[in-house]
Amino acid sequence: MGNEFLDYYGKYNISPVHQNIDDFNLHMTRRKKLYRQLGMPIKLFRDARVLEIGPGGGYNTLCFFQWGAKHIDLVEANKAGIDNMRENFALYGIDASLYDIFETKIENFSSENYDIIIAEGFLQYLSNSGEIVKKLKGMANESGIIVVTCADDFGDFVETMKRMIAHSFIKEVSEHNERVKILSHIFEPQLKSLQGVSRPVEDWVQDQFLNPALTNGVEWTIANAIEDFSPEFETLGCSPHMFSDWSWYKNIWYDMKTQYLAQYKMRRFSLFLAGMEERAVDPDIVAEIDLNVRRAKHSAREYEISYDNTLFLKASEDMESLCHLVQDIDPNLHSVFCQIRDAFRDINEAGICWNRYPDLFKAFGRGMQYVGFVRQ
């Protein structure tokens, strides 16, 4: 089974998931907030047997040690990630008896009886995520919790459109490090405008704009995850915290799965932009938006293969339709979409000048959603 993440990271010997954790308390506060949104107070980690898959440099793992995990198994198939993880554990004085590192794919690993399983940052782009989930379910103990990440066509749309623009800057450049240098220079001011970012711009560029896994057409959504985890597991929580449950606690027959699937469909529109409030949108309009989003994303994928500039004109027509569709729903998103359309037109004429797209400049989607599941 192909794995674009591992092929790409291996090819350039990179693990572009470094985090600035100089302020370790701030790092833990961010992670604590994530798990609170997932319905997991950090107390759960005390004395827990944890399995973390794809930890990269182990930045997040450091929090689990700090929160008192009894033992952590780490399954990581990327050598550069493992080297970085060993450095970090040495730097933070982590006792070697507290963990084991397995340099292999999760597909080739087996063990059981974990209290908590963490699989963050990759499942959403693997074509075999359903198979992996089946395996993870067998590894969690009686009341085990599994955390995964998902992707959504709306959530990563803005970044995909920025990625298409990014590729117009590097169409003549083939050397990886040179591409990273050019794009980091161009996009650093945008990333810096996003409050709370802890990742270096070079890493962000390598993953967001150059990682082929992100545009491989695979999209494992929250709805897919809910289906794949049922019936043995139910949703514990989600970041963003998009689900509500008004059922009476004595109503133990409440069909949470059906309710959450319906809520996801109704609320996913707000994944388009970080910071957007919840917007209730007519399902027919959502379907039409989806169609145009998929078309524009298709052009973006094609562009990376052919570097044919007429694809920008094609995509600008899809953006024009999207502008009409969202104009009465969210003024900020409307403005971002219009500026994407303008940028696409400008590429073939005046060229890109970010001053002309101030809202696009500071726009980021909710590209990755975290979901926690607990065994029923």
Q: Which residues bind ligand SAM (CB under 6 A)?
A: 3, 5-6, 9, 15, 17, 53-56, 60, 75-78, 81, 105-107, 120-122
Smaller CB separation from ligand SAM, 214 or 293: 214
Give the shortest CB-375-to-ligand SAM separation in angstroms.
22
Smaller CB separation from ligand SAM, 136 or 326: 136
Give the shortest CB-59-to-ligand SAM separation in angstroms.
6
Smaller CB separation from ligand SAM, 221 or 321: 221
Smaller CB separation from ligand SAM, 73 or 120: 120
What residue number has its CB nearest to ligand SAM? 54
Radius of gyration of the chain (CA): 21
Sign of CA dihedral 279, 284, 285, 291: positive
Give the shortest CB-132-to-ligand SAM separation in angstroms.
7
Give the shortest CB-28-to-ligand SAM separation in angstroms.
15
Enter the tokens of residue 367.
């590209």
Smaller CB separation from ligand SAM, 168 or 206: 206
Give the shortest CB-5-to-ligand SAM separation in angstroms.
4
